[in-house]
C-alpha cells in the first residue's frame, strides 16, 4: 500500500516543475497553481490509502442464482507511465454462489477505489475481478473496461478515437467458461462480444 499524499511536497514539486518548464511560479496566474495541483492529485489518487475490497464487506443473502450485471460505471484513472488521465466505463457481472450478493453501489465504489491510483488498465481490470472473487467466491465474475487514454490522444501517437478494451473473467466467466458468452452479449456493446476475442 502506498503512503497518503504529502501535499506540501507535491506543492514544492509542482513549483519546481513550473521552474523547469521555464515558467515563473510567482506570476499572478501561477501563484496558487501548486496548491491546486496538489489538491487535484490528492483527489485523483484517493484510492491508494484504503483497500477497496473493504467496500464488499457487507454481503447479503438472495435467491438469485443467475447473472447480475451493472453496466456503464464511469471511472477516471491515471496512467502510471505518463501520469496522464484515462477514463471510460466499466461493466461488471457475476453469478452469485449460494445467493451471496453485494449492494449494487458497492460495485461502483470498488471501481472508484482501484481507479484512483496510478494504474495500468489491465491491472485495474484484474484487481476489480479479484476483489469480487475474494469477497463473494462467485460462480463466475467478469469485468470489462473501455477507456480513452489521454497519453495516446493528446500526445504521442495522438489517436483521439482509439478505445482500449480490457476483460478479466474468473470462474464460469473466464475464457471457455459456460457464462462467458452470456456475460459479453448482455453488455450490449458493439465493441465487445464473444466472437471477437
Q: Which residues are annotated as a binding site for Zn(2+)?
A: 79, 82, 151
Sign, Cα dihedral of 51, 55, 60, 64: negative
Task: Assess whether 121 carries a catalytic annotation.
Answer: yes
Q: Which residue is nearest to Zn ion (CB)?
A: 151
Q: Which of residues 72-111 bind ligand GTP (CB under 6 A)?
A: 79, 81
| Closer Cβ to ligand GTP, 98 or 122, answer by number | 122
Stretch that binds Zn ion, among 7-15, 19-27, 76-84, 167-175 (CB under 5 A): 76-84
From Zn ion, ligand GTP, none, which one binds at residue 121 (CB under 5 to 8 Å depending on kind)? ligand GTP
The owner of cell 483521439 is 160
Q: What distances in angstroms separate CA 118 from CA 43, 76, 81, 98, 196, one per listed residue?
A: 12, 11, 9, 35, 29
Neighbours of 184 (CB within 10 A): 23
Asked if 160 interacts with ligand GTP (CB under 6 A), we say no
Find the radius of gyration of the CA atoms of the chain.
20
Q: Which positions from 133 to 152 touch Zn ion by CB under 5 A, shown as an x/- string?
A: ------------------x-
Stretch that binds Zn ion, among 21-29, 53-61, 77-85, 100-108 (CB under 5 A): 77-85
The number of residues making up the chain comes to 197
Q: Which of 185, 167, 81, 163 is nearest to 124 (CA)?
A: 167
Asked if 122 interacts with ligand GTP (CB under 6 A), we say yes
Q: Which residues touch 156 (CB under 8 Å, ≥6 apart)?
A: none
User: Which residues of this chain interact with ligand GTP, rule CB under 6 A?
Assistant: 79, 81, 120-122, 149, 151-152, 156-157
Amino acid at each position: 500500500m502506498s503512503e497518503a499524499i504529502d501535499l506540501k511536497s507535491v506543492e514544492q514539486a509542482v513549483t519546481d516543475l513550473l521552474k523547469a518548464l521555464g515558467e515563473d511560479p510567482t506570476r499572478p496566474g501561477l501563484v496558487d497553481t501548486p496548491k491546486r495541483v496538489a489538491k487535484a492529485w490528492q483527489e485523483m489518487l484517493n484510492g491508494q490509502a484504503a483497500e477497496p475490497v473493504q467496500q464488499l464487506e457487507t454481503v447479503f443473502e438472495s435467491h438469485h442464482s443467475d447473472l447480475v450485471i451493472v453496466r456503464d460505471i464511469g471511472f477516471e484513472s491515471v496512467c502510471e507511465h505518463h501520469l496522464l488521465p484515462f477514463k471510460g466505463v466499466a461493466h461488471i457481472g457475476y453469478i452469485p454462489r449460494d445467493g451471496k450478493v453485494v449492494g449494487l453501489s458497492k460495485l461502483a465504489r470498488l471501481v472508484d477505489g482501484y481507479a484512483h491510483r496510478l494504474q495500468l488498465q489491465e491491472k485495474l481490470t484484474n484487481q476489480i475481478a479479484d476483489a469480487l472473487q475474494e469477497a463473494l467466491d462467485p460462480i463466475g465474475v467478469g469485468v470489462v473496461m473501455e477507456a480513452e487514454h489521454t497519453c495516446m490522444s493528446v500526445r504521442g501517437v495522438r489517436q483521439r478515437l482509439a478505445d482500449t478494451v480490457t476483460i478479466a473473467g474468473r470462474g464460469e466467466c473466464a475464457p471457455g467458461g459456460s457464462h462467458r458468452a452470456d456475460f459479453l452479449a448482455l453488455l450490449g456493446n458493439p465493441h465487445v462480444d464473444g466472437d471477437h476475442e
